[in-house]
Amino acid sequence: MLKDSIITKNTNIKIKEIEEGRIIKLDCEDETEYYCPVCGSYHLRCKDTLHRCIKGISIGNKPTVLHFKTHKYKCEDCGHYFNGHPSGLLKYQHAMESCKKEVFHRHCQGVSKKEE
């Protein structure tokens, strides 16, 4: 069984279920407590649910894909709308920062995508 701390290191994502195969699929849950980026208020209303599939670090030679739900929020104080992004995942990105670092370190060691 995979350890949560290895894959979701420095994030607020909790692994609920693991499906192993050629690609390791992880059902996750985002436990981040969001606040308004404009006024800093925690008085939010959930407006929509978004399903995200992002790449995580590989385990051995098997890549991992994290599936989780996040929400679109509306601040009840200032009316600002924003989407929730868990830590370790930047806006408009489809890979965790730890995955990008892993790819960079492999590239520096001379491993190309063609050889994987």
Q: Can you tell me whether residue 9 is helix, strand or coil?
A: coil
| pTM check: above 0.75 | no
Reported as a single tens digit per residue, the pLDDT across 55-99 is: 877 777 788 888 888 899 999 999 999 988 887 777 777 777 777
Q: Can you tell me whether residue 70 is helix, strand or coil?
A: strand
For strands 62-75 and 24-30, give the pairing: parallel
pLDDT (average), residues 19-37: 88
Distance CA(23)–CA(67), nearest Å, equals 12
Of 100, 77, 32, 53, nearest to 108 (Cα)?
Answer: 100
pLDDT (average), residues 91-109: 77
Q: Give the pLDDT of residue 79.
A: 92
Spans of all domains in the chain: 8-108
Distance CA(113)–CA(87), nearest Å, equals 27
